[in-house]
């Protein structure tokens, strides 16, 4: 949990875009891991195994009757009150714009890009985790990389 907890929570948040759901999924993942810790076969890295469990728990959470009945409220964004330099503000604005562009990608492209760029999984690990071919992963990464600049350009025009 200490080593990969942030990766699991961040991926859960990425999949749900909600702090509360990411917290619930995070807890469910580590309960499942604790219960099945000795069944880990070592066919992938521990990080890949944890992210695959996270993805499955998030998928199960979306399918649950409770999740379907609840009206989702807008995500409450945490605000920071610390003062910052002009450079830090500009950096945050650029990073925020880039992450907004990534979040605007179609889910399949966004997920492949996040697993590759943020979680640093290899193409074979992503293919195994998502149950798709390596060629499909490469294609999704290529399309995602091509779409992000277009989305950023569109955001600047708006």
Q: What is the pLDDT of residues 119-130, one digit of tens each?
A: 888 999 999 989
Q: What are phi and psi of 113, to 5 degrees?
A: -65, -45
CATH classification number, 1-76, choose in 1.10.1740.10, 3.60.15.10, 3.40.1160.10, 3.40.50.1820: 1.10.1740.10
Q: Hey, what are 152's tokens?
A: 């950023």
Average pLDDT over residues 96-100: 72
Predicted pLDDT at 95? 57
For the chain, what are the domain ranges?
Answer: 1-76, 84-153
Average pLDDT over residues 138-146: 92
Predicted pLDDT at 78? 44
User: Could you tell me the CA-to-CA distances from 97 to 25, 53, 94, 120 in Å, in that order?
Assistant: 27, 29, 5, 21
CA distance 53 to 51: 5
CA distance 53 to 78: 27
CA distance 13 to 119: 13
Q: What are phi and psi of 2, to 5 degrees?
A: -65, -40
Q: Hey, what are 77's tokens?
A: 């964004």
CA distance 11 to 32: 16
CA distance 18 to 71: 13
Predicted pLDDT at 39? 80
User: What is the three-class DSSP state of 83?
Assistant: coil
- pTM of the predicted protein model: 0.58
pLDDT at residue 47 greater than cutoff 80:
yes
Average pLDDT over residues 127-152: 91
Query: Counting beta carbons within 10 angstroms of the beta carbon of residue 19, is it exposed (0 to 12), middle (13 to 18) or buried (19 or more)?
Result: middle
Q: How confident is the model at residue 1 (pLDDT cuts 50, 70, 90)?
A: confident
User: What is the three-class DSSP state of 78?
Assistant: coil
Q: Spell out the CATH class of 84-153.
A: mainly alpha
């Amino acid at each position: 949990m200490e080593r990969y907890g942030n990766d699991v929570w961040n991926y859960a948040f990425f999949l749900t875009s909600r702090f509360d759901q990411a917290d619930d999924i995070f807890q469910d993942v580590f309960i499942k891991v604790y219960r099945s810790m000795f069944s880990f076969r070592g066919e992938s890295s521990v990080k890949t195994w944890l992210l695959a469990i996270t993805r499955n728990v998030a998928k199960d959470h979306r399918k649950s009757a409770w999740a379907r009945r609840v009206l989702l409220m807008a995500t409450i964004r945490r605000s920071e009150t610390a003062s910052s330099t002009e450079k830090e503000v500009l950096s945050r604005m650029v990073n925020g714009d880039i992450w907004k562009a990534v979040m605007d990608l179609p889910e399949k492209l966004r997920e492949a890009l996040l697993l590759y760029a943020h979680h640093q999984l290899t193409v074979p690990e992503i293919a195994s985790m998502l149950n798709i071919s390596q060629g499909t992963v490469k294609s999704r990464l290529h399309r995602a990389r091509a779409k992000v600049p277009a989305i950023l350009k569109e955001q600047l025009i708006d």
